[in-house]
Amino acid sequence: MTVLSKSKNRISGTLAFVACTALILAGCATAPPADDKVAMAAFKEANDPYEPFNRAMFDFNLALDKAVLRPAASIYRDVLPEPVQNGVHNFLHNLRSPIIFGNDLLQGELDRAGSTLARFAINSTVGIFGLYDFAAYVGIEKHNEDFGQTLAVWEVEQGPYLVLPIFGPSNPRDGVGRVADILIDPLTWLTPFEFQMARTIGTAVNARARNFDQVNDLENNSLDFYSAVRSLYRQKRADEIRNGVPLNTNAVTGNLPAMPDGKSEHSQAVTSQNGK
Amino acid sequence: MRRNAVIALGALSLILCINVTSASPASNDAEKFIRAIGNKTLSSLKEKGISEQERVKRFKELLEEAFDLPRIARFTLGRYWRVATNKEKEEFVELFKKFVIQAYANRFQELSGRSFSVIKARGISTTQALVMTEILVPQKPAIRVNWRVRSKNHVHKITDVVVEGISMSVTQRDEFVSVIRQRGGKVEGLIRALRKKTTSN
């Protein structure tokens, strides 16, 4: 327990450091002159007042990725056969079941809570400790939830974009959600610190390996990798919060008007709810 | 004779009416269009013994046929479309096409050996429909891909691809707008970056 609380202290220490640095650097993010309406609108839409700090963190994370995570994920991909990789992925997802279940309940999604519970029972037993997703095979599809999404469902604003060291793209809402998920996870309190370290590292390597080509492809094909990732993160989160349901209107995420649909309709185009 | 003709005409118009009212024709046509494009793409990828050059050429043709690239280009410039000069707009649209071909030619290859199924389609405005599909990958979860299709005078064009909730057009717009902002709000800055990107590889 002492090791655990020490690590917790370290995490909160890091967060405090980040918050302080962000505040110091906040002055560096220069807003465009107020009379330049186009630039001002673009600045507001980016919702990234700490951009200089975030870019520095992004570069730091990218260097770390190149030095550690990418090579590890590359070896992992090359060495382990695909069924084993899928097993690891399923196992890690099954471990998240208590968090998903809790957040299903907090969002009032009783059907989804039931399916999470059923999946956990089936996959932990028939699926051999979660290595096989047998529940999906019998038609109980998996889904994901976290406390960041729950806060969004509770209509808490996401706040400005924030790149956290090591953890990457986030915002205050998701940052709080991350900490809350650790606290509500029974495994945090029931398993030794070594197990949690292994789980964290495994989760990172698994995620990086599964998106290996996509991430590299995006980096190669973007003019500004930082802003591409910022856009992807927001859209991904908005999609997760909507549980994958496409937007109902002709609107797209972000503040801009929808895809131009001929002159007459363009003027009455709907704007979306800004990826809440 | 004449009466028969009238009855026939009446019957015909009735059939036409039923046809029009029974389902949303726009989304039906959009769905058919996506099916056709999808099949064409997959069969083109299946063909063996084609040079790399030929593949890129085919991708280019498919892209120009299926996508409304000028419209997407205009969208990705966001608010800056209105402040760009005509000359800038023209060059931007051309560079955008090149950029898309370069960026997506590889992703196109990855579709090889996969299949897709149309889930459903629904109209989202008088001229636009959203066609929801799944790309099926063996041993992996299916990928949710939604296609925004714009139809006018029976010509269908894709204006956006949304993969797992991530819109390609929106991502591109956010990136381009950021590049312009980084370069002092000058569209010319983006054009220069695109020029460099499309000639470097």
* Full 3-state SS string of A195-261: HHHHHHHHHHHHHHHHCHHHHHHHHHCCCCHHHHHHHHHHHHHHHHHCCCCCCCCCCCCCCCCCCCC
Rounded average pLDDT over A57-76: 97
Rounded average pLDDT over A84-91: 96
Task: Read off the tokens for B99.
Answer: 């950029």
pLDDT tens digits for range A21-44: 555 555 456 677 777 788 888 888
Q: Is the pLDDT of residue A111 over 90?
A: yes
Whole-model pTM? 0.82
Q: Is the pLDDT of residue B184 over 60?
A: yes
CB contact under 8 A, A261 and B171: no
- Give the nearest partner residue to B178 out of A227, A261, A265, using CB atoms: A227
Rounded average pLDDT over A176-181: 97
Rounded average pLDDT over A149-167: 96
**Which of A209-213, B33-37, B134-138 bottoms out in mean pLDDT, i.e. has the lowest?**
B134-138
Chain B residues with CB-CB distance to A260 below 8 A: 71, 74-75
To the nearest whole angstrom, how far is the Cα of A222 from the nearest Cα of chain B? 8
Domain B2-200 CATH superfamily? Tgt2/MlaC (3.10.450.710)
Question: Distance between CA atoms of A266 and A121, rounded to whole angstroms?
Answer: 51
pLDDT of residue A101: 98
CB contact under 8 A, A235 and B166: yes
- Give the nearest partner residue to B128 out of A223, A228, A261, using CB atoms: A261
